Structure 1
Amino acid sequence: MTTTPVLAAVEGDEAPLTHQQLRELYTLMAAVRHLDTAAVAWQRQGIIPGYAPELGQEAAQVGSGYAVDRSRDFVFPTYREMGVARAMGLDMVGYMSTHKATWHGGMYNPLESRFAPIQAVVAGSVLHAVGWAHGQTLSGEKGVALTYFGDGASSQGDVHEAMNFAAVMKAPVVFFIQNNGWAISVPTERQVAGGSVAARAAGYGIPALQVDGNDVVAVHEATRSALAHCRAGNGPVVIEAMTYRRGPHSTADDPGRYRTLDEERLDAGEDPLARFRQQLLADGVADQSFFDLAQRQADEEEEAIRAGIEALGPRPGAEMFSLVFQEPTPALQSQATAWRKESDHV
């Protein structure tokens, strides 16, 4: 599948990736694949209580995250955008602190990283993204919001409200859907009429791109074009990256209950990491020594992140009250006082 050319060409968004950038994309994908696999193992080992894997979605996440202008754009993730976070250079111990249950939303600075707190509410991030994007319009700034959600989340009412508002107000926001074939245990065809989320964009008057989500270069080009379109004042864009969730929905899920291994192998298609590796080899962009180095770096990074996660201690319990409202309400203050009295003797 190739990108559908429905956006007006915007000057400055056509420059091809350099060989160095292509190698960097592979290095990022290798790091994400290794960390993602390790995180599942950490959950089984009791290091973290839960995790939402992204095996098979590395190209969709790295390719799109790599296109973000971190000086002015802002990303609004769900709970499965570890690859985007890594591509944007976040502190991964801080990111993984949510999965450690040490901190809700991630122990990193959203303003500095341009990566909003991890959103566990299905489709909740789209509303925040449109609000921020509309703020850019009101202030005359040129930042673009990039919000992520899945094919399952696309059926939530929040997505309708967000797309409708964004279209009417011409908010600079890219709605990035990772269509991985499954809304937990429900296949896309059973909850998305027509099987395409991108097709819905026409109902809001929003241009849409459907892209091969396992092709990291195609994803990057589509995201870059969409960001340029928004930045030029043309309003929102929908991108649907067609990919496949090769593992469980979360570490609490058993995909064997709703699909067989044979079905998984057949539907998943070619592995995005192996596919990109073969492309780089065929084009003479990288050799075996480069891939060996990328793997060693991924190993070392994973070990450092694991050590950082294991070193995370518990946070002060009082923080559950201090980070709710800018100005604490009387009810919250009463709860905090009661909690302190009950905790004094513990």
Structure 2
Amino acid sequence: MTVESTAARKTTRRSSGAKRTTSAAGAKKAPAAQGAEPELVQLLTPEGERVQHPDYDIDLSAEELRGLYRDMVLTRRFDAEATSLQRQGELGLWASLLGQEAAQIGSGRALRDDDYVFPTYREHGVAWVRGVDPTNLLGMFRGVNHGGWDPNSNNFHLYTIVIGSQTLHATGYAMGIAKDGADSAVIAYFGDGASSQGDVNEAFTFSAVYNAPVVFFCQNNQWAISEPTEKQTRVPLYQRARGFGFPGVRVDGNDVLACLAVTRSALERARRGEGPTLVEAFTYRMGAHTTSDDPTKYRRDEEREAWEAKDPILRLKAYLEREGHADEAFFEALEAESEALGKRVREGVRTMPDPDDMAIFENVYADGHALVDEERAQFAAYQASFADGEVK
């Protein structure tokens, strides 16, 4: 399965590889205000042409650029394999990130090891760059665990299914590390739909008042399940931050370089004690909300096709080829690595052991509880009745 097979191949490339300065072609300016940001920060056009931005620029080596490309390709491969496994009955559900690779890899690579991540349930790319084994992400969706990794091992919290609640967790954690005197930062991921939740707005209030070192990273993929963004807000999402007293910025969420630069800047601002930032990554959910959703019922094929021309992986590949930063041997080796990852994920999921029937009673209370002990004994007796061949 090639990268190009999941996106349009009709990318029109410009003949010139020279850098130029722009604030994103055709982008509107934010309403006049002190220090207002351009509406869209972009460093790499959909055609794979490198551009400059006066406030957010970044200089990466060829090796670093290849690393970002590798991260996106392997994340997409893992995500495609997980979707196939769900269709084959191996997973109960899956939330695909197809189309959002640049937002996740770019922001994830901006983090330091001592920063802490609070994800939703779709941050597979961020999990990848934090070193979480991909197969561990699938245990919960297979129903064999409640999250298969230790959050403190990678500073990557367990997936959060409740919409928006992790922003409050992130804010509280950020307030705590500030009181401890640490210079690390926190990032909270959520979607455009979650931005309408009370929890998110409460997190904005607390983080602003307490000057918490937190970055709110909103992946605006245009659709909160079946509701378009315009049904939720009268202004661009990043402008909401102004009402809470901290800055917001909109970045091209399909541009991995811009996402890296903007997130890195926001994290550095948090570490300097300057408080929270809202980053709106303007991207698109290429697939369904989850595997139980049918997006053809509420959006047009033409819309998806328009976004396929902005594919985050193809635009970086075009840039790598134009600048001579990667050759055919690199792409072939990556394709082989991608297939090996898919095979490992398939085998890992199908060999996952079923959980211990009694594990549900563990870790309910730190020091045990009489009622839980009684319930454990009752359930053990019930299970034993099947072994005896009779149900009591």
Q: TM-score, normalised by structure 2?
A: 0.82
Amino acid in the other structure paired with 2:83: V
Letter in 2 for 1:127: L
Residue 6 of structure 1, CA deviation: 6.2
In 2: Cα distance, 1:126 partner to 1:268 partner: 30
The residue correspondences of 1:285-300 to structure 2 (distance < 5 A) are 285-300=325-340
Q: Is it true that 1:121 corresponds to 2:162 in the alignment?
A: yes
Q: Does the residue aligned with 2:187 lie in a helix, a strand or coil? A: strand
What is the CA–CA distance in structure 2 between the aligned matches of 1:307 and 1:66, rounded to whole Å?
28
Structure 1 unmatched ranges of 5 or more: 8-12
- Partner deviation per Cα, 1:37-77 (whole Å, 9 max, x = no partner): 1111111111212100111000001111111111x111011
Note the 1:124-135 alignment, pairs <5 A.
124-135=165-176
What is aligned with 1:224?
264
**Higher mean C-alpha deviation, range 325-334 or range 274-283:** 325-334
Asked if residue 315 in structure 1 is aligned to residue 359 in structure 2, the reply is no
Give yes or no for the alignment of 1:142 onto 2:215.
no
Residue 20 of structure 1 aligns with which residue? 63
Aligned to 1:146, what secondary structure does the other structure show? strand
Is contact 1:97–1:107 with CA below 8 Å preserved after alignment?
A: yes
Q: CA shift at 1:206, angstroms? A: 1.1
CA distance in 1: counterparts of 2:102 and 2:382, whole angstroms: 49
Structure 2, unpaired ranges of 5+? 1-22, 38-55, 387-392
List per-residue Cα deviations over 1:258-283 (Å, max 9, x = no partner): 11212321355411111110011112
Within 2, Cα distance between the matches of 1:332 and 1:130? Answer: 33
TM-fit CA distance, 1:118: 0.8
Alignment of 1:65 with 2:108, yes or no, is: yes
Whether 1:185 and 2:226 are equivalent positions in the alignment is yes
What residue identity is the alignment partner of 1:144? A
Kept in 2, the 8 Å contact 1:244–1:268? The answer is no
Amino acid at match of 1:326: A
Q: Provide closer, same or farther for how the CA distance between residues 208 and 329 of structure 1 changes in structure 2, counting only shifts above 3 A.
A: farther
SS in 1 for 2:217: strand
- Letter aligned with residue 76 of structure 2: R
Counterpart Cα distance in 1 of 2:216 and 2:279: 6
Report the aligned-residue RMSD: 1.9
List structure 1 runs of 4+ shifted beyond 6 angstroms. 3-7
Label 1:279 to 1:325 Cα distance change in 2 as closer, same or farther (>3 A): farther
CA distance in 2, matches of 1:267, 1:103: 36
* 1:256 aligned onto 2:296: yes
Is the 2:104–2:126 contact (alpha carbons within 8 Å) kept by the matching residues of 1?
A: yes
Instruction: Name the structure 2 match of 1:99.
Output: 141
What residue identity is the alignment partner of 2:226? S
2:245 is matched with which residue? 205
Residues 92-101 or 197-206, more deviating: 92-101
- Give how far 1:344 is off: 2.5
Distance 1:265 1:140 in 2: 48
Is 1:345 aligned with 2:385?
yes
SS at match of 1:177: strand
Alignment map for 1:9-88 (pairs within 5 Å): 16-70=59-113, 72-88=114-130
Q: Is the 8 A contact 2:248 2:279 kept in 1?
A: yes
Give the whole-Å Cα distance in 1 for the aligned partners of 2:57 and 2:111: 15
SS at 1:239's partner residue? strand
- 1:124, 1:271 → 2: CA distance? 30
Task: Report the CA distance between 1:212 and its aligned residue.
Answer: 0.2
In 1, distance between residues paired with 2:86 and 2:152?
29
Is 2:58–2:257's contact at 8 Å kept on the other side of the alignment?
Answer: no
Shift of 1:205: 0.7
Amino acid at match of 1:78: T
TM-score when scaled to structure 1? 0.93
Distance 1:235 1:331, change over 3 A: farther
2:219 match: secondary structure: strand
CA contact (8 A) 1:245 1:268 kept: no
Moved more, 88-97 or 331-340: 331-340
What secondary structure, in the 3-state scheme, does the structure 2 residue paired with 1:210 have?
strand
Given candidates 282, 294, 299, the residue that maps to 2:322 is 282
CA shift at 1:179, angstroms?
0.1
Bigger CA drift: 285-294 or 223-232?
A: 285-294
- TM-superposed CA distance for 1:334, in Å, is 3.8
2:78–2:134: 8 Å Cα contact kept in structure 1?
A: no
Query: Which residue, out of 132, 137, 154, partners 1:90?
Result: 132
